[in-house]
Amino acid sequence: MTTVITYGTFDLFHVGHVRLLKRLSQLGDQLIVGISSDEFNLLKGKSSFFSYEERAEIVESCKYVTSVFPEHDWQQKREDIVKYGADIFAMGDDWKGKFDDLSDLCEVVYLTRTEDVSTTKIKKSLSKIDVEELDRIESSLHDVISIVKSLSLK
């Protein structure tokens, strides 16, 4: 049985994540995913929209993933490879060369990422929505809720 291990934050789970996990799962019989804990994200200067627990639940529900576990620091990768008996360590190619030192434990593979899709791009797009637009959206939602409530009372 070939075990593949990978890591990521997996915030705002999107088609790029799905496609990467699918390709990673095709490298072996099981895919184990380390997901950055909220505390580790803070150390990296990142902030996730969803909590670790929510991100873990989302990733674990993906049919390509066998199991997930928390990643607490950069150094644990060597221990995890041994602990989970990983045959292949795989990451997106934006990390190319960064984990070559793990090749003494297993095969190290870097896969190309899905073009034009990233959590960073999604967050930038969402941040362009100004306060007035958010107020308009919220007002529209309140209108819809009022209409639904009035219809359900009839």
Active site residues: 44, 46
The DSSP secondary structure of 11-45, one letter per residue, reads -S--HHHHHHHHHHHTTSSEEEEEEE-HHHHHHTT
What is the C-alpha to C-alpha distance for residues 126 and 129, in angstroms, rounded to an integer? Answer: 6
Q: How far is CA 50 from CA 11, 13, 31, 121, in A?
A: 6, 10, 22, 16
List the Cα angle 111/121/19 in 5-degree steps. 35
H-helix segments, 85-130:
119-127
